[in-house]
Amino acid sequence: MAIAWHRARLAARLPQTATARSLVFTVPGWPGHLPGQHVDVRLTADDGYQAVRSYSLAAPADGDRIELGVQTVPGGEVSPYLADDLPSGADVEVRGPLGNWFVWRPEQTEPVLLVAGGSGVVPLAAMIRAHRRVPSSNAFHLLYSVRTPDDVWYGDELAAPDGHLDVRIVYTRQAPSGSPRGAGRIAAADLAEPVTRLGATSPAYVCGPTGFVESVASLLVDMGRDPATIRTERFG
């Protein structure tokens, strides 16, 4: 039985970076979802032409409201329109929730490693936000790779004190002045400390561009992590 397409109405648009937006839609009849799941968004032009793209859900289930993260892809067919042009109150179609593999369930009790590249932080944000609702939970360790300090999504939220979340941000192009770590891609040294906080079966969720995900996953395997504990999602 096919998962239904739902009408989704744009309720709010929040800037995350110069080119990234959080979009909140109201979706009558939305069945709820798990942190890490995604939706397919379908746009239909006046001439009937349709385009479908996948976007991660950025927040835990909240009635008929869903939040997506949209990073503008220059020259893209869909993302610039969603990010900046879709009028508030306009409708698109969404199909979901989709995917049961790249998910975190609140009943999981091990410490968790989250590794994000760029907008790959979106499904991990849903996990972090869901984790905050669980009392006396084990810690989440987020390692978040961005190009520059201006490219951080959810900045205030990640900076807020949280005894169950530690956040490390790695800058690949330009680090803040005075930062002890220079700019550069994630290396084993960046993963070493958070990995020591994990148990043998603790899951690692890695999401980002394909090259980033491949690189981080092989670093983790080289560090002795069981490949079966590493869950990855690539977005091209």
Partner 1 sequence: MADDNTHLDGNCLAGPLSEILSVEATTAWWRCPECAMAGPLAQLQVYGPEPGLTARCPGCAYIALRLVKEGRHIWLTMGSSTGAFRFTV
Residues that bind partner 1 in the complex, under the rule CB under 8 A: 1-3, 38, 40, 52-54, 95-96, 98-102, 210-211, 213, 231-236
Nearest CB to partner 1, comparing residues 31 and 176: 31
Nearest CB to partner 1, comparing residues 118 and 137: 118
User: Would the CA dihedral through 26, 30, 32, 38 be positive or negative?
Assistant: negative
> Least distance from C-beta 182 to partner 1, angstroms?
28
Cα–Cα distance for residue pair 179/141, rounded to 1 Å: 20
Residues 6+ apart with CB under 8 A from 48: none
> Least distance from C-beta 166 to partner 1, angstroms?
26
- Which strand (E) or helix (H) includes residue 26? strand 20-26
Q: Nearest CA to 56 among 212, 208, 165, 202?
A: 208
> Least distance from C-beta 235 to partner 1, angstroms?
7
Nearest CB to partner 1, comparing residues 137 and 232: 232
Residues 6+ apart with CB under 8 A from 15: 21
> Least distance from C-beta 197 to partner 1, angstroms?
25
Nearest CB to partner 1, comparing residues 2 and 45: 2
> Least distance from C-beta 8 to partner 1, angstroms?
14
Helices and strands, number each (H, E), in the chain: 5, 11
Say how many CA atoms lie within 13 Å of 80 toward its Cβ. 5
Question: How many C-beta neighbours within 10 Å does residue 113 have?
Answer: 25
> Least distance from C-beta 114 to partner 1, angstroms?
16
Nearest CB to partner 1, comparing residues 42 and 197: 42
Nearest CB to partner 1, comparing residues 42 and 185: 42
